Structure 1
Amino acid sequence: MTQNYSRVPAPRLSLLALAALAFAGQSALAQGNGGTPPAAPASAASAPAAAPKPPVDPTAPKPFADVIKDAKSQDGLFPIWRKDEKVWIEIPKAQLNKPFLFSVNVSNAVGERGLYASQMGRAHLAEWRRVGNQLQLVALNTKFRAEGGNRLASEQAFSPSLLAASPVASAEHAERKSFLVDASLLLSDIPGLSTRLEFAYRLPYSPDRSNSFFEATRAEAGLSTLTARMHFATPRIPAPPMTPTPVPMPSAPQATPDPRSLFMSFVYSFKALPEQPMKARLADPRLGHFAESYTDLSEDYKPNTRVHHIKRWRLEKADASAALSEPVQPITYWLDKNIPPKYRKAVEEGILEWNKAFEKIGFKNAIVAKQQPDDADWDNMDAGHASIRWFVGADVGFAIGPSHADPRTGEILDADIGMSDVFARGSRRFLVEDVNRPAARTAHASHDDAEACRYAQEAVSEMDFAMDVLEARGEIQPDSPEAEAFVHAVIRDVIMHEVGHTLGLKHNFKASTTVTQAQLLDKAWTDAHGISGSVMDYNAYNLSLKGEPSGALTNTTLGAYDYWAIEYAYKPVAAAAEAQELGRIAARSSDPLLAYADDADADLFGGIDPLANRFDLGADPLAYYKRRLKLSQELWARVQERQPKVGEDPLRQRRVLLAGFNQLARASELVGKYVGGMYMQRELPGASMQPAFKPVEPARQREALDFLAKGLFSADSFRFKPEFLSTLTVDYNEWERAGPVDIPGAVARIQNVALDRLYSAGTAQRLMDLPGFVPAKDRKGLISLNEVYASTQAAVWSELKAGGEIDRLRRNLQREHLRRLQAVLVKGGGPGVMADAYALLRLHANQLQSELRAAVARGGQSVETRAHLAESLDMLSNLLKAGMQRS
Structure 2
Amino acid sequence: MHSDSEPRRVTTRRRAGVPLALGAAVWLAGCAGLPQATGGRPTAAGAGTPMARAATAGTPAPSATTPAASAATAPSAAAPRSDPAPLRPFADVVRDAQRIDGFVPLWRRDERVWLEIAPERLNQPLLLSVNVASSVGERGLYAGQMGPVWLVEFRRVGNTLQLVARNTRFRADGDPALRRAVAQGFSESLIAYGAVASAAHPQRQSFLVDAAFLLSDLAGYATALERAFRIPYALDRGNSSFESVRADARVAVLHAKLHYATPRIPAPPASPAPGAVLPTPPSTTPDARSLFVGAVVSLMALPAQPMRPRAADPRVGHFTTTYSDFSRDLAADARVRLVNRWRLEKKDPAAPLSEPVQPIVFWIDRNVPPRYRGAVTDGVLEWNKAFERIGFRDAIVVRQQPDDAAFDTMDGAHASIRWLLGIDAGFARGPSHADPRTGEILDGDITITDAFGRGARRIFVEQVGGASSASGSDERLASLATQWQGAGASQACTYLLDAAADLHFALDLLEARGDVAPDGPEAEAFVRAVIKDVVTHEVGHVLGLTHNFRASSAVAHALLRDAAHTRAHGISASVMDYNPINLPLAGEPMAALVQGGLGAYDHWAIEYAYAPLSEADEQAALEAIAARGRDDPALAFGDDIDAAGLDPRVNRFDLGDDALAFVERRIALTHELWQRTQQRGWQPGDDPLRLRRTLLAGFRQLRELPALAAKHVGGMYAERDRPGDGRPAFRPVEPQRQRQALALLTDTLFRVDSFRFKPEFLASLPPDYAEFGAGRGGPVSIPQAVLQLQTSALDRLLDPGTAQRLLELPLYLPESERSTALSLHEVYATVQRAVWRELATGGEIDRLRRDLQREHLRRLQAALTRPLGLPSDALSLQRLLATELQRDLQRAVGRAAGLSVETRAHLADSLALLGEALRASFVRQQ
The structural deviation recorded for 1:599 is 0.6
For the pair 1:495 / 2:532, whether they are aligned, the reply is no
For residues 61 and 811 of structure 1, the distance between their equivalents in structure 2, rounded to whole angstroms, comes to: 81
For residues 3 and 62 of structure 1, the distance between their equivalents in structure 2, rounded to whole angstroms, comes to: 30
Q: Is the contact between residue 426 and residue 463 of structure 1 (CA under 8 Å) also seen in structure 2?
A: no
1:70 aligned residue: 96
Is the alpha carbon distance of 1:201 and 1:547 closer, same or farther for their aligned partners in structure 2, counting shifts above 3 Å? same
2:149 aligned residue: 123
Q: Residue 119 of structure 1 aligns to a residue in which SS?
A: coil
Is the alpha carbon distance of 1:345 and 1:459 closer, same or farther for their aligned partners in structure 2, counting shifts above 3 Å? closer
Q: Is the contact between residue 503 and residue 527 of structure 2 (CA under 8 Å) also seen in structure 1?
A: no
Matches within 5 A, 1:515-554: 515-554=555-594
* One-letter amino acid of the structure 2 residue matched with residue 788 of structure 1: V
Matches within 5 A, 1:33-52: none
Matches within 5 A, 1:13-32: none
* One-letter amino acid of the structure 1 residue matched with residue 536 of structure 2: M
Q: Is the contact between residue 266 and residue 279 of structure 2 (CA under 8 Å) also seen in structure 1?
A: no
Deviations 1:417-449 (A, max 9, x none): 11112135579999xxxxxxxxxxxxxxxxxx9
1:691 aligned residue: 728
For residues 240 and 613 of structure 2, the distance between their equivalents in structure 1, rounded to whole angstroms, comes to: 50
Matches within 5 A, 1:850-869: 850-859=887-896, 860-869=898-907
Structure 2 unaligned segments of length 5 or more: list them: 1-14, 19-28, 38-82, 460-480, 482-489
The structural deviation recorded for 1:485 is 1.5
Is the alpha carbon distance of 1:654 and 1:508 closer, same or farther for their aligned partners in structure 2, counting shifts above 3 Å? same
1:441 aligned residue: none
Q: Is the contact between residue 427 and residue 487 of structure 1 (CA under 8 Å) also seen in structure 2?
A: no
1:481 aligned residue: 521
* One-letter amino acid of the structure 2 residue matched with residue 83 of structure 1: R
For residues 492 and 106 of structure 2, the distance between their equivalents in structure 1, rounded to whole angstroms, comes to: 32
Is the alpha carbon distance of 1:795 and 1:172 closer, same or farther for their aligned partners in structure 2, counting shifts above 3 Å? same
For 1:751, which of 779, 790, 793 is the aligned residue?
Answer: 790
Q: Residue 495 of structure 2 aligns to a residue in which SS?
A: coil
For residues 455 and 818 of structure 1, the distance between their equivalents in structure 2, rounded to whole angstroms, comes to: 36
For 2:693, which of 655, 661, 686 is the aligned residue?
Answer: 655
The structural deviation recorded for 1:879 is 1.1
For residues 86 and 257 of structure 2, the distance between their equivalents in structure 1, rounded to whole angstroms, comes to: 31
Deviations 1:226-245 (A, max 9, x none): 01000101111122332354
For the pair 1:585 / 2:625, whether they are aligned, the reply is yes
For residues 712 and 376 of structure 1, the distance between their equivalents in structure 2, rounded to whole angstroms, comes to: 56
For residues 428 and 660 of structure 1, the distance between their equivalents in structure 2, rounded to whole angstroms, comes to: 13
Matches within 5 A, 1:813-852: 813-828=852-867, 830=868, 832-852=869-889
Deviates more, 1:482-491 or 1:407-416: 482-491
Is the alpha carbon distance of 1:753 and 1:66 closer, same or farther for their aligned partners in structure 2, counting shifts above 3 Å? same
For residues 252 and 776 of structure 1, the distance between their equivalents in structure 2, rounded to whole angstroms, comes to: 63
Q: Is the contact between residue 75 and residue 219 of structure 1 (CA under 8 Å) also seen in structure 2?
A: yes
Structure 1 unaligned segments of length 5 or more: list them: 12-56, 431-448
* One-letter amino acid of the structure 1 residue matched with residue 534 of structure 2: V
**What is the identity percentage for the equivalent residue pairs of Structure 1 and Structure 2?**
58
For residues 819 and 296 of structure 2, the distance between their equivalents in structure 1, rounded to whole angstroms, comes to: 63
Is the alpha carbon distance of 1:457 and 1:250 closer, same or farther for their aligned partners in structure 2, counting shifts above 3 Å? farther
For the pair 1:884 / 2:919, whether they are aligned, the reply is no
For 1:378, which of 387, 400, 407 is the aligned residue?
Answer: 407
Is the alpha carbon distance of 1:702 and 1:806 closer, same or farther for their aligned partners in structure 2, counting shifts above 3 Å? same
For 2:909, which of 846, 868, 871 is the aligned residue?
Answer: 871
Pair member with larger Rg: 1
The structural deviation recorded for 1:196 is 0.5
Q: Residue 617 of structure 2 aligns to a residue in which SS?
A: helix
Q: Residue 629 of structure 2 aligns to a residue in which SS?
A: helix
Q: Is the contact between residue 268 and residue 279 of structure 2 (CA under 8 Å) also seen in structure 1?
A: no
The structural deviation recorded for 1:193 is 0.4
For the pair 1:166 / 2:194, whether they are aligned, the reply is yes
Deviations 1:587-643 (A, max 9, x none): 01121111110011112xxx2111111111111111111111111111211221223
For 1:295, which of 324, 327, 351 is the aligned residue?
Answer: 324
For residues 83 and 628 of structure 1, the distance between their equivalents in structure 2, rounded to whole angstroms, comes to: 63
* One-letter amino acid of the structure 2 residue matched with residue 612 of structure 1: V
The structural deviation recorded for 1:647 is 5.2
The structural deviation recorded for 1:681 is 0.6
Deviates more, 1:307-316 or 1:330-339: 330-339
For the pair 1:721 / 2:758, whether they are aligned, the reply is yes
1:141 aligned residue: 167
For the pair 1:184 / 2:223, whether they are aligned, the reply is no
Is the alpha carbon distance of 1:337 and 1:462 closer, same or farther for their aligned partners in structure 2, counting shifts above 3 Å? same
Is the alpha carbon distance of 1:8 and 1:242 closer, same or farther for their aligned partners in structure 2, counting shifts above 3 Å? closer
The structural deviation recorded for 1:458 is 4.0
For 1:810, which of 837, 849, 858 is the aligned residue?
Answer: 849
1:278 aligned residue: 307
For residues 426 and 615 of structure 1, the distance between their equivalents in structure 2, rounded to whole angstroms, comes to: 23
For residues 86 and 508 of structure 2, the distance between their equivalents in structure 1, rounded to whole angstroms, comes to: 70
For the pair 1:642 / 2:680, whether they are aligned, the reply is yes
Q: Across the two proteins, how many residue pairs are aligned to each other?
A: 818
For residues 617 and 405 of structure 2, the distance between their equivalents in structure 1, rounded to whole angstroms, comes to: 46
2:44 aligned residue: none
* One-letter amino acid of the structure 2 residue matched with residue 494 of structure 1: V
* One-letter amino acid of the structure 2 residue matched with residue 88 of structure 1: W
For residues 424 and 854 of structure 1, the distance between their equivalents in structure 2, rounded to whole angstroms, comes to: 56
Higher relative contact order (Cα pairs below 8 Å, separated by 6+ residues): 2
For 2:717, which of 667, 672, 679 is the aligned residue?
Answer: 679
Q: Tell me how large the CA RMSD over aligned residues is.
A: 2.0
* One-letter amino acid of the structure 2 residue matched with residue 150 of structure 1: L
Q: Residue 575 of structure 1 aligns to a residue in which SS?
A: coil
2:637 aligned residue: 596
Deviations 1:834-884 (A, max 9, x none): 211110000011111111112222233222222211211111111111111
TM-score, normalised on structure 1? 0.90
The structural deviation recorded for 1:800 is 1.1
* One-letter amino acid of the structure 1 residue matched with residue 643 of structure 2: A
Deviates more, 1:294-303 or 1:270-279: 294-303
For 1:347, which of 352, 360, 376 is the aligned residue?
Answer: 376
Structure 1 moving runs of 4+ over 6 Å: 3-8, 426-430
Q: Residue 512 of structure 1 aligns to a residue in which SS?
A: helix
Q: Is the contact between residue 424 and residue 491 of structure 1 (CA under 8 Å) also seen in structure 2?
A: no
For 2:294, which of 265, 270, 295 is the aligned residue?
Answer: 265
Q: Residue 746 of structure 1 aligns to a residue in which SS?
A: helix
Q: Residue 227 of structure 1 aligns to a residue in which SS?
A: strand
The structural deviation recorded for 1:58 is 6.3
The structural deviation recorded for 1:470 is 3.8
For residues 460 and 112 of structure 1, the distance between their equivalents in structure 2, rounded to whole angstroms, comes to: 19
Q: Is the contact between residue 857 and residue 914 of structure 2 (CA under 8 Å) also seen in structure 1?
A: yes
Q: Is the contact between residue 226 and residue 267 of structure 1 (CA under 8 Å) also seen in structure 2?
A: yes
